[in-house]
């Protein structure tokens, strides 16, 4: 096989692996939007938060992984509850723009607190998976990418089953459809909001941990990965869980390919911009996304 | 003592009084009908009972307990179930999923346990599913369509699914808002048969808003008549039928009562 094709496959594989993480993070975003029509403008900070807490528990407090990871997720759940109870619940009934702006404000606070607590230096992140590449045919694949992909797929499958089959998942879908009717059937709408924020903080934290482990370090640029949630949800449709799972991978591959082929021509930076070019194009030709409902508003 | 007592309910939208001091007492086991011309405040009463509207004045007492300030989902937990005038199903979901949500108030396992789906939580989910399949779906003859997406079903069947969803809550009090609205004679007859059957089998207390006078006269024990947010008559169907106020205000002077 020619080097050209190996190079292409490598880009695609890495893109799929990273894109799957985007899907995971976007899942949290979509859940919040579906349940409460709140657009979370701080997805990056949720990722940062998870990554930093994981770093602090594993490397700073030197806890065993089996303790540190669950602990990180518990802290993420607490963050979700704090956001929903403390910040958003008092704003119920306020204009949607106020609610959206407050997510932006809260994200800045999270970033500030992280900076105050642990500073802005790049922190080494433990490699959760071996970095010794193995060969898939002629294509070298790093286990970190493979395992992050597998982990994400298992998580996405689990969440999909939860939404589709469990009573609580069904109640969440019902709330997204019609809050008043869901309430008349005994579903606590505030409870569903809280749950969707908690799921969002948890999947973002997981995303942060996986990305931290893939990159081998944590710093504030991790938040940029969280921002990729926007092109993913615009492509997939703001209200479609299946849509964001597919479009996360598409965005991941696309950005990697444009990075691999166009960066040398334009002298770099295309990789970072490409997803947002897609965002703009999609908004122009298909504003409700690939899988979204047509009546979704542009946000 | 009455199972449900509405005491002097007042509700207004802007300057329009939707309810101007309505009092009702509904006894356990009653089949109670509320009738009245459009805009008389019938659905407003339901919205007050299920907590969607908060009355400006007055009290709602259910089973000896003041529920006026309870949230809608807390009232559902007291097993007050309702259907809606314009079908309010979750259109993108299957019949089974729609009905299953009715079991939500009975779910005891926590979110985390349900999410991880192990042990007790898994068994509980399966038990709820079994109840829905065995009791509700069979009772309302929805077996054939239980995996269909609700939005694709004909109107009459959707109405029946909505009734099924309310029943899945295992209600003590069932509020039916125009259960036969927009149905043809045959569908109406089916629906009435189902309602009567489940009310008897499950020993429900039913409050029904209905326009079809034939249905009201046939199946209700007591009837209250509303007009402009006020109760103008109450009694047995035959009695209400003869009431001069009712004939004048609601049925019109010359209408022959069915």
Q: What is the pLDDT along chain A (299 residues), one digit of tens a residue?
A: 688 899 999 999 999 999 999 999 999 999 999 888 889 999 999 999 999 999 999 988 888 988 999 999 999 999 999 999 999 988 888 888 898 899 999 999 999 999 999 988 888 888 777 778 888 788 888 888 898 899 999 999 998 888 888 899 999 999 988 889 999 999 999 999 999 999 999 999 999 999 998 888 888 988 888 889 999 999 988 878 888 889 999 999 999 999 999 988 888 888 888 999 988 888 888 877 777 666 544 44
How far is it, in rounded angstroms, from Cα B45 to Cα B22? 9
Tell me which chain B residues have a C-beta less than 8 angstroms from the C-beta of A180.
Answer: 52, 72, 88
Do B3 and B70 belong together in one domain?
yes
Q: What is the pLDDT of residue B112?
A: 77
Do B68 and B180 belong together in one domain?
yes
Please name the residue of chain A whose CA is at the shortest distance from the CA of residue B165. Answer: A185
Residue B148, judged by CB atoms within 10 A of its CB (0-12, 13-18, 19+), counts as middle
Q: What is the pLDDT of residue A289?
A: 78
CA dihedral B175, B180, B181, B187 (to 10 degrees): 160
In a domain, B108, yes or no: yes
Here the contacts of B248-257 (C-beta below 8 Å, separation 24 or greater) are B249/B37, B249/B225, B250/B35, B250/B36, B250/B37, B250/B225, B251/B213, B257/B213, B257/B217
In a domain, B117, yes or no: yes
What 3-state class would DSSP assign to A102? helix
How many residues would you count in chain A? 299
Do B203 and B229 belong together in one domain?
yes
Give yes or no for a contact between A23 and A244, defined as CB atoms under 8 angstroms apart: yes
pTM across the whole model = 0.86
In a domain, B85, yes or no: no
pLDDT per residue over B40-59, tens digit each? 899 999 999 999 999 999 99
- Average confidence score pLDDT of chain B: 89
pLDDT per residue over B83-115, tens digit each? 999 889 999 999 999 999 999 988 887 777 777
The answer to whether B100 contacts A170, with C-beta atoms less than 8 Å apart, is: yes
Tell me the shortest Cα–Cα distance from B184 to chain A, in angstroms. 26
B171's CB contacts (< 8 A; 6+ apart) are B79, B80, B81, B204
Q: What φ, ψ does residue B99 adopt, rounded to 5°?
A: -70, -35
Q: Tell me how many degrees the CA angle B52-B55-B59 measures, rounded to the nearest 5.
A: 110
Give yes or no for a contact between B245 and B36, defined as CB atoms under 8 angstroms apart: no
Tell me the shortest Cα–Cα distance from B125 to chain A, in angstroms. 7
A285's CB contacts (< 8 A; 6+ apart) are none
A123-132, A260-269, B23-32, B137-146: the lowest-pLDDT one:
A123-132
Tell me the shortest Cα–Cα distance from B205 to chain A, in angstroms. 17
Please name the residue of chain A whose CA is at the shortest distance from the CA of residue B53. Answer: A180
In a domain, B84, yes or no: no
**Of B71, B111, B165, which is closest to A185 when you measure between CB atoms?**
B165
A268: left (phi over 0), alpha (psi -120 to 50) or beta: left
A48-62, B112-126, B206-220: the lowest-pLDDT one:
B112-126
Of the candidates B139, B147, B191, B126, the one whose C-alpha atom is nearest the C-alpha of residue B168 is: B139
Tell me which chain A residues have a C-beta less than 8 angstroms from the C-beta of B81.
Answer: 184-185
Interface contact A132, partner B, CB < 8 A: no
Q: Tell me how many degrees the CA angle B105-B107-B111 measures, rounded to the nearest 5.
A: 115
What 3-state class would DSSP assign to B224? strand
Q: What φ, ψ does residue A238 adopt, rounded to 5°?
A: -55, -25
Last residue of a domain, one of B145, B169, B193: B169
Whether the pLDDT of residue B254 is over 60: the answer is no
Domains identified in chain B, total number? 2
Q: What is the pLDDT of residue A141?
A: 87
Here the contacts of B52-55 (C-beta below 8 Å, separation 24 or greater) are B52/A180, B52/A183, B52/A184, B53/B11, B55/B9, B55/B10, B55/B11, B55/B19
Do B96 and B161 belong together in one domain?
yes
Is this complex's ipTM strictly greater than 0.95?
no
Last residue of a domain, one of B136, B169, B202: B169
Q: Please report, for the domain that includes residue B186, its CATH number.
A: 3.40.50.300
Tell me which chain A residues have a C-beta less than 8 angstroms from the C-beta of B125.
Answer: 165-167
Q: Which of residues 184-243 of A touch B (CB under 8 A)?
A: 184-189, 195
pLDDT per residue over B185-195, tens digit each? 999 999 999 99
Tell me the shortest Cα–Cα distance from A144 to chain B, in angstroms. 26
In a domain, B86, yes or no: no
How far is it, in rounded angstroms, from Cα A145 to Cα A15? 9
Do B215 and B239 belong together in one domain?
yes
Last residue of a domain, one of B133, B148, B169: B169
Which secondary structure element, helix H or strand E, spans residue B62, and what is its range?
A: strand B57-62
Do B115 and B181 belong together in one domain?
no
Mean pLDDT of B199-214: 91
Instruction: Say yes or no: domain A3-285 is CATH 2.40.50.
Output: no
What's the Cα-to-Cα distance from B151 to each of A35, A134, B33, B245, rounded to whole Å?
A: 20, 50, 29, 42
**Of B81, B92, B114, which is closest to A167 when you measure between CB atoms?**
B114
Q: What is the CA radius of gyration of chain A?
A: 19
Tell me the shortest Cα–Cα distance from A257 to chain B, in angstroms. 37
Q: What φ, ψ does residue B86 adopt, rounded to 5°?
A: -95, 125
B154 lies in which domain range?
Answer: 91-169
Do B74 and B178 belong together in one domain?
yes
Q: What φ, ψ does residue B32 adopt, rounded to 5°?
A: -110, 130
Interface probe for A, chosen from B52, B91, B94, B104 (most Cβ of A below 10 Å), is: B104
Of the candidates B205, B203, B230, the one whose C-alpha atom is nearest the C-alpha of residue B62 is: B205
Q: What is the pLDDT of residue A297?
A: 44
Of the candidates A198, A288, A186, the one whose C-alpha atom is nearest the C-alpha of residue A239 is: A288
Whether the pLDDT of residue B215 is over 50: the answer is yes
């Amino acid at each position: 096989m020619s080097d050209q094709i190996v190079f292409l496959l490598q880009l695609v594989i890495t893109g799929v692996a990273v894109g799957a993480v985007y899907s995971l993070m976007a899942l949290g975003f979509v859940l919040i939007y579906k349940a409460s029509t709140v657009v979370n403008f701080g997805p990056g900070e949720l990722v940062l938060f998870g990554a930093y807490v994981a770093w602090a528990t594993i490397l700073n407090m030197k806890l065993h992984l089996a303790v540190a990871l669950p602990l990180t997720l518990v802290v993420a759940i607490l963050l979700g509850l704090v956001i929903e109870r403390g910040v958003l619940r008092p704003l119920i009934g306020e204009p949607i723009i106020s609610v959206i702006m407050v997510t932006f404000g809260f994200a800045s606070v999270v970033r500030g607190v992280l900076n105050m607590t642990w500073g802005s230096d790049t922190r080494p992140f433990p490699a959760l998976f071996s970095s010794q590449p193995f060969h898939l045919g002629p294509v070298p694949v790093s286990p970190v990418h493979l395992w992050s992909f597998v982990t994400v797929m298992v998580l996405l499958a689990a969440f999909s089953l939860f939404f589709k089959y469990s009573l609580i998942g069904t109640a969440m879908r019902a709330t997204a459809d019609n809050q008043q009717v869901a309430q008349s059937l005994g579903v606590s709408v505030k409870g569903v909001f809280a749950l969707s924020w908690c799921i969002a903080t948890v999947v973002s934290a997981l995303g942060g941990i996986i990305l931290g482990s893939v990159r081998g370090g944590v710093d504030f640029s991790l938040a940029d990965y969280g921002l990729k949630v926007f092109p993913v949800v615009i492509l997939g449709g703001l209200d479609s869980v299946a849509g964001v799972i597919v479009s996360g991978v598409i965005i991941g591959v696309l950005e990697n390919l444009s990075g691999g082929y166009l960066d040398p021509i334009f002298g770099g930076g295309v990789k970072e911009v490409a997803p947002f070019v897609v965002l703009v194009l999609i908004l122009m030709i298909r504003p409700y996304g690939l899988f979204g409902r047509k009546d979704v508003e542009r946000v | 003592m009455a199972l449900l007592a509405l005491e002097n309910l007042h509700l207004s939208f802007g300057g329009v009084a939707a309810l101007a001091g309505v009092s009702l007492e509904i006894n356990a086991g009653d089949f109670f009908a509320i009738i009245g011309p459009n805009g008389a405040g019938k659905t407003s009463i339901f919205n007050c009972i299920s907590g969607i509207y908060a009355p400006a004045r007055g009290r709602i007492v259910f089973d000896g307990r003041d529920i006026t300030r309870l949230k809608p989902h807390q009232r559902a937990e007291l097993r007050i179930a309702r259907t809606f005038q314009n079908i309010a199903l979750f259109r993108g979901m299957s019949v089974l999923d729609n009905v299953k949500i009715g079991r939500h108030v009975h779910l005891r396992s926590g979110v985390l346990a349900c999410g991880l789906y192990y042990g007790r939580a898994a068994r509980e989910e399966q038990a709820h599913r079994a109840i829905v399949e065995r009791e509700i779906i069979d009772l309302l003859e929805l077996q054939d369509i239980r995996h269909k997406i609700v939005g694709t079903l004909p109107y009459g069947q959707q109405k029946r699914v909505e009734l099924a969803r309310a029943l899945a809550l295992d209600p003590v009090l069932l509020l039916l808002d125009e259960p036969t609205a927009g149905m043809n004679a045959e569908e109406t007859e089916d629906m009435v048969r189902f309602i009567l059957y489940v009310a008897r089998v499950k020993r429900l207390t039913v409050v029904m808003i209905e326009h079809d006078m034939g249905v009201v006269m046939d199946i209700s024990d007591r009837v209250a008549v509303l007009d402009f947010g006020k109760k103008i008559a109450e009694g047995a169907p035959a009695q209400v039928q003869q009431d001069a106020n009712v004939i004048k205000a609601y049925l019109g002077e010359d209408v022959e009562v069915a």
